[in-house]
Amino acid sequence: RHFQGEPGRLEGMHVLVTAGGTVERIDPVRYITNDSSGKMGYAIAEEAVRMGAKVTLVSGPSALPVPCGVEIVRIQSALDMREAVLSRLEASHLIVKAAAVADYRPAVVAEQKIKKKSDSLTLELIKNPDILQEIGTLKKHQFVVGFAAETEALDEHAMDKLSRKNCDLIVGNDVSQEGAGFSGDTNVVRIYDRNGLVEALPIQSKKDVARRLLELAADRMPAAAR
């Protein structure tokens, strides 16, 4: 009924997007985070609104403007993000996990500022829950899109993540490539489904990547969800 890219393709859909990096506390004045800018996720949220969806954006700390019409849920840690996402799972038709979730967090968060004492300090880290993998296990009607940030063997690693995490689509990102990755306004991605490579997009704006990704998702979503 709709042409590709035409506003309205996601009419009536609830889209949940995660964006940015998470912040893992060490003590009251220190934390661990990563270089994620949130730009890819914010672009996806903006394009989903343009295509008619009701959009919730679960975001790590970011100074980016919240796109018009998007409900923003601000979080800090991976545990916060997990809670924010799982509590909205049931109501979501399409979930796009663009966030760079910290793989590990400090085993203990010091209540007071850690004092400088010995010549070395070892920080024990423990693994965070894999939110995307949990969604993949719990999902029923939801269409799930994951991301894979890699610096080598993109096809293999992306396909491995897609199957392990039970995603419907995965966006492979070679973050070592010129014009791709965390901080810029452009991206270079390869998009896969269960059967393998669907599309290799040349370098383009994150907005255009977002639009194409949402079109591919809309094409594949069951008619019942639309």
Detail the residues annotated as belonging to a binding site: 103, 113, 129-132, 147, 161, 165
Q: Is 209 left (phi over 0), alpha (psi -120 to 50) or beta?
A: alpha
Q: Which stretch binds Ca ion (CB under 5 A): 45-53, 63-71, 103-111, 129-137?
A: 103-111
Nearer to ligand CTP, 201 or 226 (CB): 201
Phi–psi pair at 94, nearest 5 degrees = -130, 130
Does position 148 interact with ligand CTP (CB under 6 A)? The reply is yes
Does position 159 interact with ligand CTP (CB under 6 A)? The reply is no
| DSSP 8-state class, residue 21 | B
**Tokens standing for residue 16:** 């949940």
Nearer to ligand CTP, 70 or 85 (CB): 85
The residues annotated as belonging to the active site are 34
Which residue in the set 9, 14, 97, 190 belongs to the binding site for ligand CTP (CB under 6 A)?
Answer: 97
Does position 132 interact with ligand CTP (CB under 6 A)? The reply is yes
The overall longest dimension of the chain from CA atoms, in Å, is 68
Per the annotation, where are the binding residues for CTP?
A: 103, 113, 129-132, 147, 161, 165
Task: Compute the CA torsion angle 15, 20, 25, 28 (nearest 10 deg).
Answer: -100
